[in-house]
Amino acid sequence: MTERFGSVSELRSALDAEQTSSRELIERSLQRASGVGERLSVFVDLQNDQAVAAADAADARRAAGETRSPLDGIPLVIKDNIVQQGERAGCASRILEGYVSPFDSTVVAKLRAAGAVVIGRANMDEFAMGSSTENSAYGPSRNPWDLERSPGGSSGGSTAAVAADIVPLALGSDTGGSIRQPAAFCGVVGMKPTYGRVSRYGLVAFASSLDQIGPLGRSAADCATLLDVISGHDPKDSTSLPEPALTTASALTGDVSGLTIGLPREYFETEGADPALLEKVRVAAGMLEAQGAKLVEVDLPHARYAVAAYYLIATAEASSNLARFDGVRYGRRAEGAANLKELYERTRSEGFGAEVKRRILLGTYVLSAGYYEAYYRKAQKIRTLLRQDFDAAFAGCDVLLTPTTPETAFRLGDKTEDPLTMYLSDIYTVSANLAGLPGVSLPCGLVEGLPVGLQVLGRPMEDAAVLRVADAYQRLTDHHLARPEDLA
C-alpha cells in the first residue's frame, strides 16, 4: 500500500489482488483524518467504529466473491448537510446541535447498498451558505496547499479531505458553485450533476431549485464512478428526474474529436479576473483542439447579471426553507422563553450565524410586499434570459470551457468583512445552477503555487459529455496528480 491513495480503479485492483484490504484503507483514512484532518479542520464528526465494521464486512464480501460495486470497501466522507440514519447531522450550525437523523438520505442509502464506507462528516459553511467554509460554527477549514488560505466553500471540508489524501472520494452539495469552487481552490475534481439527476431526499435544503448533491475526487473517472452509484430516479424527491441511474463511467473514451467547445466571450472579459487563470483555460482549450475538438467563441450576454439574480433567488428560497428551524421539533431551543414567538426569535437568533441571518433577512425582504415584483420576480425573469443564453450557445457547441473561479484560493479572513466580494467568487459557477446544467471543475495547473480550476459546462442531461471532456484533458495532462506537500 503506497502512502497516497491511487485512483478508485487502482484501489479496486489492489483489493481484488489482495494487496490491501478495505480494513487497511479505512484505518489509513481514519489515521490521516485525526492527524492531517485535524490540522485542516476538515471533519465535524468521525465514525471510527462504524467505518471499521463496514470495512470488515466489505472484506468478508470480497473474500466470498460477493463484492457489491466498484465502491465496495472504499472510504469516503460526506458533507454535514446530508443525513445518515442514527448519525448526527448538524449542517455546521449551532441550531442543529444534537440532531440525530432518523432516516438515511437516498444518496447514503445507495452508498450503503454499494458497500462504500463513510468515515466521517465533513465541515462546511453553515447550511451551505458561503464560499470559504469560514461560516462554520466549528471554525474554518484550511486549504492543504496553504494553511493560511481558504479551501473554498461551502463543501470546503469534503474537498480538503480529498486534496489532503484522507479519502479518495467525497460528497458535497452545490447550490451556486459549492462543489466546483472548492475543487478549483484545492486542485481536485468536483461535479455538479444536472439538476434532478441525484436525489435531494435527505439533503438539508438551502435553495431547493438550485441545490444538487455531487461527487468530489482526484479524477473525472473517479467522480463518474461515484456519480453512477448515487444517481437515478427517486420517488421520495418530487424534483427527481424520471430517468435511470447514469452510466457516465462507460462514456469516458478519451476521444474529443468532432466535439465543438464553446468559449464564452464574457467570461474572459470579467472585470477583476486574474489574467493568469484565464490563460490557463486558453491553454487547456488549445490542447483539446489539438486532439480534434473545434473551438468557437460564444456569447452569454446576460452573464454579468447571474450573481445578482442568484442571490435574490437563493436567499428567497433559503428564508422559506430555514423557517422550519424554530426550536420546537429538533435541534437546539433557547431557554426561558415566555411565549411561542419569543421562543422562535430567541432560538433562531442564538442558533444561526451571521451569514445565515443575513441571507434570511435578504430573502424575507425580497419576498415581502412591495418588493416581490421588483426583486424576486425580476430575478426569475433574468433566470429565463440566462437559460435562453445557454440554449443559444449550445445550439453552436457541445460543451463550454470556462474558468471555475476568477482567482486562486484567497486568504482566510480576506473577504469576511464584505459579503458581496465573497459572493462574487461564484461568478463563473452560479449560472449552471440557475439553468440546471451539469458542470465539472478540474485542475489545470498552478499559479503562484496554488491550483487553478477549469470548468466544463454541458447541456442539461449531458453529464457524460462534461465528464468525457474532463477525462480527455486528464489523459493529456498530469495536473490532477499534483499534490500539496505532505502535511503529516
Partner 1 sequence: MSRIAPEDAKRVAELARLRLDDAELPAMTAHLERILEYVDLLMEVETDGIEPTAHAIPLATPTRSDEPAGEFTPEQAVANAPDADGTAFCVPKVLDDEAAS
The catalytic residue positions are: 79, 154, 178
**Considering the complex, what minimum distance in angstroms separates the CB of residue 163 from partner 1?**
29
Restricted to residues 355-374, the positions that interact with partner 1 (CB under 8 A) are 357-358, 360-362, 364-365, 368, 374
Restricted to residues 191-210, the positions that interact with partner 1 (CB under 8 A) are 194-196, 209-210
**Considering the complex, what minimum distance in angstroms separates the CB of residue 178 from partner 1?**
16
**Considering the complex, what minimum distance in angstroms separates the CB of residue 14 from partner 1?**
40
Restricted to residues 415-434, the positions that interact with partner 1 (CB under 8 A) are 418-420, 423, 433-434
Restricted to residues 381-400, the positions that interact with partner 1 (CB under 8 A) are 381-385, 387
Compute the residue count for the chain. Answer: 488
| Cell digits of residue 260 | 465543438
The region, left, alpha or beta by phi > 0 then psi within -120 to 50, assigned to residue 432 is alpha
380 binds partner 1 (CB under 8 A): yes
Partnered with residue 401 across adjacent β-strands are 456
Burial of 428 (0-12, 13-18, 19+ CB in 10 A): buried
Q: What H or E segment, with its residue span, contains residue 117?
A: strand 117-122
For partner 1, give the closer residue by CB, 268 or 365.
365
| Cell digits of residue 247 | 452510466
The stretch near partner 1 (CB under 8 A) out of 21-29, 247-255, 311-319, 397-405 is 311-319
Angle, CA of 470, 473 and 476, to the nearest 5°: 155
The Cα-based distances of 114 to 54, 58, 240, 244 in angstroms read 11, 10, 20, 16
**Considering the complex, what minimum distance in angstroms separates the CB of residue 194 from partner 1?**
8
Contact by Cβ (8 Å): 59, 21: yes
For partner 1, give the closer residue by CB, 174 or 471.
174
| Cell digits of residue 281 | 483555460
The Cα-based distances of 293 to 121, 333, 373 in angstroms read 40, 58, 44
The count of residues interacting with partner 1 (CB under 8 A) is 75
For partner 1, give the closer residue by CB, 64 or 338.
338
Residue 210, φ and ψ in degrees, nearest 5: -120, -30
459 CB neighbour count, 10 Å cutoff? 21
Restricted to residues 224-243, the positions that interact with partner 1 (CB under 8 A) are 235, 238-239, 241-242
Distance CA(321)–CA(313), nearest Å, equals 12
Restricted to residues 26-45, the positions that interact with partner 1 (CB under 8 A) are none
**Considering the complex, what minimum distance in angstroms separates the CB of residue 316 from partner 1?**
11
Contact by Cβ (8 Å): 390, 431: yes
Restricted to residues 251-280, the positions that interact with partner 1 (CB under 8 A) are none
For partner 1, give the closer residue by CB, 213 or 241.
241
**Considering the complex, what minimum distance in angstroms separates the CB of residue 322 from partner 1?**
9
Restricted to residues 92-121, the positions that interact with partner 1 (CB under 8 A) are 98-100, 102-103
For partner 1, give the closer residue by CB, 4 or 304.
304
| Cell digits of residue 468 | 468525457
**Considering the complex, what minimum distance in angstroms separates the CB of residue 211 from partner 1?**
11
Restricted to residues 434-473, the positions that interact with partner 1 (CB under 8 A) are 434-436, 460
Distance CA(238)–CA(172), nearest Å, equals 21
Cis peptide before 154 (omega within 30 of 0): yes
For partner 1, give the closer residue by CB, 239 or 260.
239
**Considering the complex, what minimum distance in angstroms separates the CB of residue 328 from partner 1?**
5
Q: What H or E segment, with its residue span, contains residue 170?
A: strand 169-173
Residue 198, φ and ψ in degrees, nearest 5: -120, 130
Distance CA(371)–CA(311), nearest Å, equals 15
For partner 1, give the closer residue by CB, 417 or 478.
417
Please spell the DSSP secondary structure of 265-331, one letter per residue: GGGGS-TT--HHHHHHHHHHHHHHHHTT-EEEEE--TTGGGHHHHHHHHHHHHHHHHGGG-SSSSSS
Restricted to residues 317-356, the positions that interact with partner 1 (CB under 8 A) are 319, 323, 326-333, 337-346, 348-349, 352, 354
The stretch near partner 1 (CB under 8 A) out of 4-12, 250-258, 307-315, 463-471 is 307-315
Restricted to residues 398-417, the positions that interact with partner 1 (CB under 8 A) are none
For partner 1, give the closer residue by CB, 50 or 364.
364
